[in-house]
Chains A and B, each alone.
Chain A
């Protein structure tokens, strides 16, 4: 009962939806028809980006409103959300994860480290940026990126 009461008292916390993305969806991704299953891969991140991705799928930003959903296996996923610089230990695993996804598939590099290794560039354990290991389709700037930015990047694919 207390759960129901809590739900009633809290009410709706989600932010009002920003306007629809204007850009065209790439033609090869139209097959997804506005629904995208997402698998997160931490390739060596400091966990900052993970927290923000968690927020993006939380009740406030609620990315599921726009057709993106987190799944547990790359076999179920259309997109990989990769965070952090790719460490040597994760390079092969990342390659195999992307290989395990069915086509059409896309790779979203989330955060500055994923784009250019950020703070960790040149580290002995770092293989390189995500783009050095697997082809990247979308990039999200920020250290860490704000949840709005993650949601906006996902909406460019779902178009909703």
Chain B
């Protein structure tokens, strides 16, 4: 016995208890009990995941639980990693959610769905059979859909976002169903063990089809471009603790699926699979962060940044597959380790960022960065915690994102040693994509933190902001501690990560030497010490500020008016906004983003030379969505309208259709025989 089974059982039980409490208790008690149960579910995930990461394994079958197939569960280190990440995030956001509710989020069905959603997130990585996996996957999709539309009575956009999410996630499910049906039929079994055993006997075409279908399904869950359209809609409209859990835990399961199916079940594959994944990842990374740079809605910005970070992860996964296909074991293990480490880092800082955005939304009623500002003085703790997370997201030391992006870049650079023209061409491009997205991420989070929290408030809501209640701060504090730990002592995770990559399949193995003080790559001459780097940075900053202070004290100083160019005191309207901050970038990437500008001049009645008013409007639409989705939607709705003509309402006509259809079918069957 290693505690995984009891922990998962306790988690599942608590999810059920929380759902029951959510349905039955009065509003205030309901929020608290459901929140505590969700935290318990998360704690179960942490315990089970930590045990699995230490090398324990667990499996169980319940043949009678699900008709025909039965429920099969198995936990290895790879599942354990995702469980542990989900668990930590769930504990933190559950505590946070207790304070946050009251935004229309305390409704019965929302509070009932909340612990169940956390439970399915913890259990999906434990699934070890096709039916079990699909059941849990769909339960996760449905509960998250319920949570996304929690505030649908307050805003119409929530309903639209919910519709997009429902359609996209179910298109993904269809793709996944097709993939698993093909796979199970080809491998001759339903459990993952049978799939693993039968995968080698399948034809390359069938294996390729299974992989592509699974990739489409999992990539749409992970928010990869061009299947990302639901993500920047659903994440901003969902309640913030839900956005946090979706963005930090649910999208990870897309990566889990790709790794599990691609490496674990199919046992790796030819180059083109992984090139496809890598290209998707690179496209998402660059496109996601560009859209984030243009976004002025804080939560939309974070959602696009999720697309970017998962893109980086997918670059790592694709590179690992590519190296493994070419026989480079060591760089493959390193790339996969970097990808998984980035999943962990991203989960922690993105959950914290979404919680911070939620606190801002609750305190000011605003998500629009152009109308925020001045929150550092009004919500100092929230601002500090948001800054910790933003530091993680910009991929600069001493943030936690830097560690994994450094490892990823090391993997891509050392991967050049793997022979082959493909690697020689693709890897430099991938390195460029990672570097470009890292650079843009710095601009994005300077914008989010600087425009959102500094300067003067630009709206009444921001001016009247108050610090969040202690439960919300506690939840965020927990995530901030996780971020700091990952940034300072990432070596502590090394052993668990190597077990997780080894469990993933042929590409895995040890890639990081475990050491608390420094991070050294196994098999490659590269190392750095995040702890010493952070200490050196802190000492440097303290020394510089101390010197500046002491030098300033000796000079005489006078209090004078702010220099305002003789034009009167500056107003908050003159401050940098998110739009103006992004404007130079928008100009640079004009061809990619294709912004829409609309200038409307109204002339005075007396003369055409006198202008009465000028209306200027500028918008940066999601171009892929515009070009790719609109035509498809228009064609579908056109087809639907014209198909309506077939349904004239006459019963005889319908009977005729049935008869005609039957005759055609019989003729075809006769012809085939």
Chain A 59-99, CB-CB to B under 8 Å as 1, else 0, gives 00000000000000111000000000000000011001101
Instruction: Name the distance in Å between A103's Cβ and chain B's nearest Cβ.
Output: 8
Let me know if A100 is at the binding interface, CB within 8 A.
yes
Would you call A93 and B566 a contact (CB within 8 A)? yes
Q: Which of B555-600 contact A (CB under 8 A)?
A: 558, 560-561, 563-564, 566
Q: With A and B bound together, what is the CA distance between A75 and B560 in angstroms?
A: 11
Looking at chain B, what size class is its interface with the partner chain?
Answer: under 10
Instruction: Name the distance in Å between B451's Cβ and chain A's nearest Cβ.
Output: 25
Tell me the nearest residue of chain A to B562, going by C-beta: A100
Chain B 47-72, CB-CB to A under 8 Å as 1, else 0, gives 00000000000000000000000000
Report how many residues on chain A are interfacial, defined by Cβ distance under 8 Å.
10
Q: With A and B bound together, what is the CA distance between A147 and B628 in angstroms?
A: 67
Q: With A and B bound together, what is the CA distance between A65 and B563 in angstroms?
A: 30
Kindly list chain B residues whose C-beta atoms are within 8 Å of the C-beta of A92.
566
Chain A 98-124, CB-CB to B under 8 Å as 1, else 0, gives 011001000000000000000000000
Q: With A and B bound together, what is the CA distance between A103 and B555 in angstroms?
A: 12
Tell me the nearest residue of chain B to A93, going by C-beta: B566
Tell me the nearest residue of chain B to A74, going by C-beta: B563
Would you call B566 and A75 a contact (CB within 8 A)? no
Instruction: Name the distance in Å between A34's Cβ and chain B's nearest Cβ.
Output: 22
Would you call A73 and B563 a contact (CB within 8 A)? yes
Tell me the nearest residue of chain A to B565, going by C-beta: A73
Kindly list chain A residues whose C-beta atoms are within 8 Å of the C-beta of B560.
99-100
Chain B 602-634, CB-CB to A under 8 Å as 1, else 0, gives 000000000000000000000000000000000
Tell me the nearest residue of chain A to B560, going by C-beta: A99
Q: With A and B bound together, what is the CA distance between A96 and B560 in angstroms?
A: 10
Kindly list chain A residues whose C-beta atoms are within 8 Å of the C-beta of B563.
73-75, 96, 100
Kindly list chain B residues whose C-beta atoms are within 8 Å of the C-beta of A73.
563
Q: With A and B bound together, what is the CA distance between A97 and B566 in angstroms?
A: 7
Q: Which of B304-357 contact A (CB under 8 A)?
A: none
Q: With A and B bound together, what is the CA distance between A74 and B562 in angstroms?
A: 12
Q: With A and B bound together, what is the CA distance between A93 and B568 in angstroms?
A: 9
Q: With A and B bound together, what is the CA distance between A75 and B563 in angstroms?
A: 8
5 new A-B contacts at CB < 8 Å, known A93-B566, A96-B561, A97-B566? A75-B563, A92-B566, A96-B563, A100-B560, A100-B561
Top-8 shortest CB links A-B:
A93-B566, A100-B563, A75-B563, A96-B566, A99-B560, A97-B566, A99-B561, A96-B561
16 contacting pairs across A/B (C-beta < 8 A): A73-B563, A74-B563, A75-B563, A92-B566, A93-B566, A96-B561, A96-B563, A96-B564, A96-B566, A97-B566, A99-B560, A99-B561, A100-B560, A100-B561, A100-B563, A103-B558
